[in-house]
Amino acid sequence: MNFESLANELLLYMFEFLSTHHLIDAFHGLNSRFNCLLFHHFTVIGIDFRSLHADKFVTICQEYVPRFFEDDNMTEEVDELLSAFKTTFWIDQHRWFVQCQWYPVTSNYDLFTLSYAINDVCIKYPLLLKSTCPQNDYHHIYDAVRCLRYDNETGKCSQQSDIRFYKLEKLEVQLPVDEHF
Task: Considering only residues 32 and 138, tell me which one the structure prediction assigns the higher pLDDT.
Answer: 32
Residue 62 CB contacts under 8 Å (≥ 6 apart), including other chains? none
Is residue 147 predicted with pLDDT exceeding 70?
yes
Q: What is the pLDDT of residue 72?
A: 54
pTM: 0.50
Q: Which has the minimum average pLDDT: 61-70, 86-95, 133-142, 165-174?
A: 61-70
Q: Which has the minimum average pLDDT: 81-90, 132-141, 170-179?
A: 132-141
Residue 157 DSSP symbol: P
* Span 61-118, pLDDT tens digits: 666 666 555 545 667 778 888 888 888 888 888 888 888 887 776 667 788 887 666 7
Q: What is the pLDDT of residue 161?
A: 67
On whether the CB atoms of residues 148 and 168 are closer than 8 A, the answer is: yes
Torsion of CA 99, 104, 107, 111, to 10 degrees: 0
> Which neighbouring-strand residues pair with 148?
121, 171
Sequence length of the chain is 181
